Amino acid sequence: NAGVTQTPKFQVLKTGQSMTLQCAQDMNHNSMYWYRQDPGMGLRLIYYSASEGTTDKGEVPNGYNVSRLNKREFSLRLESAAPSQTSVYFCASTLREGRTDTQYFGPGTRLTVL
Amino acid sequence: LAKTTQPISMDSYEGQEVNITCSHNNIATNDYITWYQQFPSQGPRFIIQGYKTKVTNEVASLFIPADRKSSTLSLPRVSLSDTAVYYCLTRDDKIIFGKGTRLHILP
């Protein structure tokens, strides 16, 4: 039981390059989330997927796209990377039970855009 | 936007009890309050969750008054390893983290 896994752990891109961040969970959760965290700041929600086949924008969706490939996997794509997207990206899987939500986070992807 | 308000930072000393209060004036009737802890270079991890009165686990206690407009996370006898950012959240259609409280434990 690996929980939430993210790949890659580190990535350096040049401005204008594209890449996809991968996230997978083996906890059979319906909801998955992508956040970014800039140095010394809190987490900001980029996109989330409440269930397989659905995705919704969060607080800072511009410059990103997502794909909920199946129940296990939720990927985040940067089509044309910009230096402002330098950040740590966290994926989370969410257990929803009644009125409670508990999130389980991956180890993060540290992205630098030059 | 996050629906909660917390102090930006707090300092305390090893061995002390630390209380972090979170304001959530517009909490919905059925919402729970959840606290997460984040160490540097790691993702947040769940600490405790509650609806009303008091909840206690092996890590912390959570106190929620009758009006539920605030909650207090209590960390007993903190150590240096409790230095972290603590986030208070209430449920919404989506899960939004605020800036959290940066707790610094001094020797």
- Asked if A21 and A79 count as a contact pair (C-beta separation under 8 A), the reply is no
User: CA B33 → CA A60, A89, B30, B36, B57, distances in Å?
Assistant: 24, 24, 10, 10, 15
Using CB atoms within 10 Å of the CB of residue B98, give its burial: 0 to 12 exposed, 13 to 18 middle, 19+ buried.
Answer: middle
pLDDT, averaged per 10 consecutive residues of chain A (114 residues), comes to: 92 97 96 94 93 93 95 97 97 90 95 97
Report whether A108 contacts A38 (CB < 8 A).
Answer: no
Put simply, the chain A residues between 74 and 113 with a CB less than 8 A from any chain B CB are: 90, 92, 94, 99-108
Q: What is the pLDDT of residues A83-108, one digit of tens each?
A: 999 999 999 999 988 888 899 999 99
Q: What is the nearest CA distance from A54 to chain B, expressed in angstroms? A: 13
How confident is the model over B27-46, as a mean pLDDT? 92
Give the count of Cβ contacts less than 8 A between chain A and B.
60
DSSP tag of B3: S
Q: Is the dihedral of CA A37, A42, A47, A52 positive or negative?
A: positive
Nearest by CB: B32 against A41, A48, A99:
A99
